[in-house]
Amino acid sequence: MFTDKEKFKIEFKQRLIGNSGRQMHEVSEDDVYAALGSMIRERIGQDWAATNRAYTEHGERQVYYFSMEFLMGRLLGNNLLNLGVLELVREGLGELGWDLEDIEEYEADAGLGNGGLGRLAACFLDSLASLGYSGHGNGIRYRYGLFEQKIIDGHQVELPDYWLQKGNVWEVRRGDKKVNVRFWGNVESHEQNGRLVYETKNGEDVWAVPYDVPIVGYENSAVNTLRLWSAESAADPTRGFGGNYYNFLDYKRSVETVSEFLYPDDSQYEGKLLRLKQEYFLCSAGLQSVLRTFDKLRLPHDRLADKVAIHINDTHPTLVIPELMRILMDEKGFGWEDAWSIVTRTVSYTNHTILSEALETWPEQMIRELLPRVHMIIEELNKRFCASLLEQYPGDQERVSRMAIIEGGQIKMAHLAIHGSHSINGVAALHTDILKKREMKDFYELYPERFNNKTNGITHRRWLMHANPELENLLEETIGSAWKKQPDQLNELLKHTGDAVVQEKIRSVKRKNKERLAAYIHKKHGATVDPNSIFDVQVKRLHAYKRQLLNALHIMDLYNRIKENPALDLTPRTFIFGAKAAPGYYMAKQIIKLINNIADTVNNDPQTKDLLNVFFLENYSVSLAEKIVPAADVSEQISTAGKEASGTGNMKFMMNGALTIGTLDGANVEMYESLGDEGMYLFGLRIEEVEQYYREGGYSAQGIYNSDDRVKKVLDQLIQGPFCQNGQSFDSIYHSLLSHNDEYFVLRDFADYAQAQEQIGIDYRNTKLWTEKAILNIAKSGRFAGDRTIGEYASDIWGIKPVGVGSRLTTR
């Protein structure tokens, strides 16, 4: 295995020729990627085996993070970084005539997630491995990830994301570890040793085949596992099916659809049978695999919770609770009480959303048919739970109905998750507070000790070191490298806030990143972007509560003001958007079209084009985010207060020295605690005010329209005017604001937002002041590193300590 650059070059050339079957002068960049990938994968393999051995010998509790989504992005650059060979490989490849950054572009993003929840899971895996915790991911290997977005005539068009087309060097198919998952069928019972034993007969069996992806820790030789399950037909094609080969093909197709695609909707819950199948598939396969690993320890199953922690990422994998009950009772012979005790000590749950329309409830009938034995268990759980509630709250039938797991023919997954977990956490202080005081109040009263907060965090390895190597170097020069292993050490930078030399370097790093993004925009849009302008960025899923519309209306207003007063003294701005809308979310798609129309108008109007530019960058993804985030001056985190559970983009921008314009929502609240008014531009309604409006009414969007001429003009322009090219109009947006009284208080916050934006324009010109603020942001961002978050999960929820592996055995 190579240890220096020269050895790398020799080994790499051999591999390249051997892999591609071509001569050096014939190989393509694709070949280079494949050869490098396989070489690095092999290197990881050694540590992977050693890590697994260490975990088995050590007997430390293993954490399994069950999630329907892992938004991993690309792995090559990150693996090189964490292995500590990034520079060596970059230089070696360079000497052979290839640019590593170009080679990295050959890797398809693993886009197996919708947004925040899936990316959080990916950041957590990186922190778990990097801190040396025995924590693994358990998910689904969707054949198609989140759709690829094209913008055609300003509209979003969705294309399938066949990310596996060119193969995936990082995964290892483990055919020998496949397990069986059973759907449908009927439950039969018989007596055995004096107790009833249940079995599902005549079900449809699906093989779950694991594909393992190594998760490399940062310079610590640890390699954990992300196990992704793929559905395959269990049947032997040569047998059964009444001799009809077409019957077999139909069956095969139906089975394989289980892991075919990721559901692209993260805002509106829909009770689709296939989605339920996916959720059970993950839970059943994951649990079987967890139990197999546990069995290697040769311990009785009542010790399960000592050795295993199962964490469920939102309610999507909640079926682990009844499924583990089923296995313990039907297969391991436990009685109800003992099984329940094992389950609740094993499982913990994170809630990621307050939006009621995203809460999962499954029709009881659907679960009864698809998963008959699981249904029986949920029914029994509900019966016992309601009975215990009545005992605790005698006569309070209303409370019992509110809290029941099954109500009105619906199974409430959040209730099941809370009842079956020993820990329930929200993802930012404000969010956890809302859960306790409002959304889950009844449950908090019942189980106060179970509720806790774990403010989200992001991996500084991908989002600072890998995405922004110039900033990494500058930090290293200025404060050394302790922050790489202890990100809170970034606060050492505070000592240099006023240092003119450091300030100049910070500006130069930002400048280079802006030039790089400008080059990308030039390539994609053919447009020239001025790197002296403020890069003002809003990238995230498109959703009404995130209020991209507020940003858009404000740009329309700026346009109007320049047109009214061409001498207006505005600091030039480049507004950058990136967002995918759920394919069926009409309003979100209209907002994308509106932004593109605005771009068309302001970018081409000779009076405005030097002051205002707008770009909607298509197909926002992890790898695109890595280009955008380091180049941002301003980060837009402008959700209606109380709606964004945490946000994680906010943290990425902060860490890269962008200043936030934001509401007091989600983790912005904690950012503001750290940054104060000098470090952040706060605006808008506070959560108490929003709640008061919802409770007592008194908000009139029409009133604002009538009294604010600027707002009126902008809204009228949704129907007719410079942004309605080719007779297009935005009636539905207009009516959502006026006829439906503006559910998200866009108009209410408009003036305050515009004012904060004006202040940004002024402050940006004061380069010294602006740079000091940027430095403050970077210095305070360590609190939002995933390592801090994972440390808290490990000690407070999972009760685990780091395990030393390889050459770095920690003593305990």
Instruction: Based on the residue annotation, tell me whether 740 is a catalytic residue of this protein.
Output: no
C-alpha of 357 from chain center? 19
In eight-state DSSP terms, residue 520 is H
Nearest alpha carbon to residue 290 among 258, 334, 329, 320: 320
In eight-state DSSP terms, residue 439 is I
The distance of closest approach from Cβ of residue 8 to ligand 26V in the complex, given in angstroms and rounded to an integer, is 38
By beta carbon distance, the residue nearest ligand 26V is 116
The distance of closest approach from Cβ of residue 545 to ligand 26V in the complex, given in angstroms and rounded to an integer, is 9
Instruction: State how far the Cα of 260 lies from the Cα of 274, in Å rounded to an integer.
Output: 10
Q: CA 409, 414, 416: angle at the middle one, nearest 5?
A: 70
The distance of closest approach from Cβ of residue 646 to ligand 26V in the complex, given in angstroms and rounded to an integer, is 4
Euclidean distance between the first and final Cα of the chain, in Å?
31
Position 469, amino acid: P
Query: Based on CB atoms, which residue is closest to ligand 26V, 17 or 355?
Result: 355
Of 301, 375, 419, 540, the catalytic one is 540
Nearest alpha carbon to residue 321 among 388, 371, 259: 371
Query: Based on CB atoms, which residue is closest to ligand 26V, 41 or 541?
Result: 541
The distance of closest approach from Cβ of residue 138 to ligand 26V in the complex, given in angstroms and rounded to an integer, is 16
Query: Based on CB atoms, which residue is closest to ligand 26V, 271 or 498?
Result: 271
The distance of closest approach from Cβ of residue 272 to ligand 26V in the complex, given in angstroms and rounded to an integer, is 9
In the complex, which residues of this chain contact ligand 26V (CB under 6 A)? 114-117, 120, 263, 265-266, 269, 314, 352-353, 358, 427, 456, 644-648, 666
Query: Based on CB atoms, which residue is closest to ligand 26V, 178 or 311?
Result: 311
C-alpha of 358 from chain center? 16
Of 74, 541, 543, 783, the catalytic one is 541
Instruction: State how far the Cα of 5 lies from the Cα of 88, in Å rounded to an integer.
Output: 5
Q: Which residue has the tokens 């994609």?
A: 524
C-alpha of 120 from chain center? 4
The distance of closest approach from Cβ of residue 490 to ligand 26V in the complex, given in angstroms and rounded to an integer, is 21
Query: Based on CB atoms, which residue is closest to ligand 26V, 266 or 439?
Result: 266
Return the H-helix or E-strand segment holding 44: helix 29-58
Position 415, amino acid: H
Instruction: Based on the residue annotation, tell me whether 546 is a catalytic residue of this protein.
Output: yes
Query: Based on CB atoms, which residue is closest to ligand 26V, 136 or 352?
Result: 352
In eight-state DSSP terms, residue 188 is E
**HEC profile for 85-123?**
CHHHHHHHHHHCCCCHHHHHCCCCCEEECCCHHHHHHHH
The SS3 call for residue 299 is coil
- The first and second tokens of residue 120, run together, are 């959080």
- Within 10 A of 336 (CB to CB), how many other CB atoms are there? 14
Query: Based on CB atoms, which residue is closest to ligand 26V, 61 or 352?
Result: 352
The distance of closest approach from Cβ of residue 582 to ligand 26V in the complex, given in angstroms and rounded to an integer, is 9
Instruction: Based on the residue annotation, tell me whether 507 is a catalytic residue of this protein.
Output: no
Query: Based on CB atoms, which residue is closest to ligand 26V, 644 or 670?
Result: 644
Of 225, 648, 663, 789, the catalytic one is 648
Of 61, 178, 652, 748, the catalytic one is 652
CB of 36 closer than 8 Å to CB of 119:
no
- The first and second tokens of residue 154, run together, are 């300003």
Of 119, 436, 546, 748, the catalytic one is 546
In eight-state DSSP terms, residue 547 is T
Query: Based on CB atoms, which residue is closest to ligand 26V, 203 or 426?
Result: 426
Query: Based on CB atoms, which residue is closest to ligand 26V, 245 or 586?
Result: 586
Position 187, amino acid: V
Instruction: Based on the residue annotation, tell me whether 415 is a catalytic residue of this protein.
Output: no
Q: Which residues pair with 717 in a beta bridge?
A: none
Residue partners of 181: CB distance under 8 A and separation at least 6 = 205, 206, 207, 208, 231, 280, 281, 284, 285
The distance of closest approach from Cβ of residue 314 to ligand 26V in the complex, given in angstroms and rounded to an integer, is 6
Q: CA 336, 286, 133: angle at the middle one, nearest 5?
A: 105
Position 256, amino acid: E
Q: Quickly list H helices, 542-667.
A: 548-564, 586-604, 622-628, 649-655
- The first and second tokens of residue 1, run together, are 């295995």
The distance of closest approach from Cβ of residue 474 to ligand 26V in the complex, given in angstroms and rounded to an integer, is 28
Alpha-carbon distances of 107 from 26, 166, 221, 435, rounded to whole Å: 20, 9, 24, 40
Instruction: Based on the residue annotation, tell me whether 652 is a catalytic residue of this protein.
Output: yes
Of 136, 326, 352, 593, the catalytic one is 352
The distance of closest approach from Cβ of residue 521 to ligand 26V in the complex, given in angstroms and rounded to an integer, is 27
CB of 124 closer than 8 Å to CB of 461:
no
Q: Could you list the active site residues?
A: 352, 540-541, 546, 648, 652
